[in-house]
Amino acid sequence: MRIRSTLAGLALATLLASPVLAQSGMTVGFSQVGSESGWRAAETSVTREEAKKRGIDLKFADAQQKQENQIKAIRSFVAQGVDAILLAPVVATGWDQVLEEAKDADIPVVLLDRNIETKDDSLYLTAVTSDQVHEGKVAGDYLVGQVGSKPCKVVELQGTTGSSPAIARKKGFEEAIAGKSNITLARSQTGDFTRTKGKEVMESFIKAENGGKDICAVYAHNDDMAVGAIQAIKEAGLKPGTDIMVVSIDAVPDIFQAMANGEANATVELTPNMAGPAFDALEAYKKDGKEPPKWIQTESKLYTQADDPKGVMEAKKGMGY
Ligand code: AHR
């Protein structure tokens, strides 16, 4: 009898010490942009996994790229009385009112992967994002280094109009090529972060630029648009990566495949694991009232064809991809 109760006590002690019970028990609403890119799908899957590991009840809402859907989702999370909200904001402006409603209900909001423009930064607890201007600058610096003093006409595929990465990645790239009179940004249009639109817009650039023969490089704000552009370049009878350089941002497996094939030149990595640091911050805040820094910055790393693209691609599997 005594042995049995000692064993039961031991089992309970082991369980209490295990991560399964070291759980927050929080309910968190997640308003996601949509599923426009491979990176976005990976972020969604990493967030679900992180929530599961921590015993967080994640309420997921896919906004299908529409701000009004995100506003509705936030209001519904507030009505449900969630403990916290994760918001990946599709565009940068227009959030103040709904975030005030969350603040009035005492629900902390963490911004994921994109920033907002507001005069009142008390409307969110923290933002887990990369330095998006820096990403554009890294991509631009790479291109400048490759081009040297040769003349180079660049075309740009922008992300979703009004989104913080589209604004910042354009700015960073322009900073990198500023003062380089041999490099011109000839055309720039949104491809909405999708493969299909990236391809369509690249086709129109190719048509307008002597069948693509006048284009020296394409800079895409994400890999999915770059993959669409690669397709368009091939269909125009040119060699992506050689006739037209391809530089982009995200570091998804498909771009490493393209780099391994010599069809893409470089990408700047954006981690899909925004939820890990976000949940860490929320758990500390809920437990001890510890305010996180206003910006939790994730790393940006450049990968080129020289960085064993096949090996990196393999390593990426299981990181949400
Ligand atoms: O906000 C991050 C960006 O959004 C990623 O670079 C892009 O792939 C996604 O759509």
pLDDT tens, residue by residue, 75-111 = 999 999 999 999 999 999 999 999 999 999 999 999 9
CA of 22 relative to ligand 1 center, distance in Å: 32
Question: What is the rounded average pLDDT of the residues 37-56?
Answer: 97
Ligand 1 centroid, distance to 39 Cα (angstroms):
6
What average pLDDT does the structure give for the chain? 93
Q: What is the pLDDT of residues 150-196, one digit of tens each?
A: 999 999 999 999 999 999 999 999 999 999 999 999 999 999 999 99
Residue 9 pLDDT > 80: no
Q: What would the mean pLDDT of 204-216 be, rounded to a whole number?
A: 98
- Of the chain, the percentage scoring pLDDT greater than 90 comes to 91
- Which sequence spans correspond to the domains of the chain? 12-129+271-298, 132-270+304-319
Pick the CATH number of 132-270+304-319 from 3.40.50.2300, 3.30.70.1140, 3.40.1030.10, 1.10.3720.10: 3.40.50.2300
Nearest CA to ligand 1 atom 7: 222
What's the mean pLDDT in 57-77? 98
Provide the whole-model pTM: 0.92
Residue 270 Cβ contacting ligand 1 at under 6 Å: yes
- Alpha-carbon span 307 to 30, nearest angstrom: 35
pLDDT score of 6 more than 60: no
pLDDT score, position 23: 64
| CATH code, residues 12-129+271-298 | 3.40.50.2300
Q: Tell me, using a 6 A CB cutoff, whether residue 87 lines ligand 1.
A: no
Residue for token pair 């660049």: 154
Of all protein residues, the one whose alpha carbon is nearest to atom 3 of ligand 1 is 165
Q: Report the nearest-CA residue for atom 2 of ligand 1.
A: 113
Q: Is residue 211 predicted with pLDDT exceeding 60?
A: yes
Residue 271: pLDDT over 60: yes
Best of 65, 86, 135, 250 to mutate for ligand 1, by most ligand atoms within 8 A of CB? 250
Which structure tokens are listed for 88? 């990946």
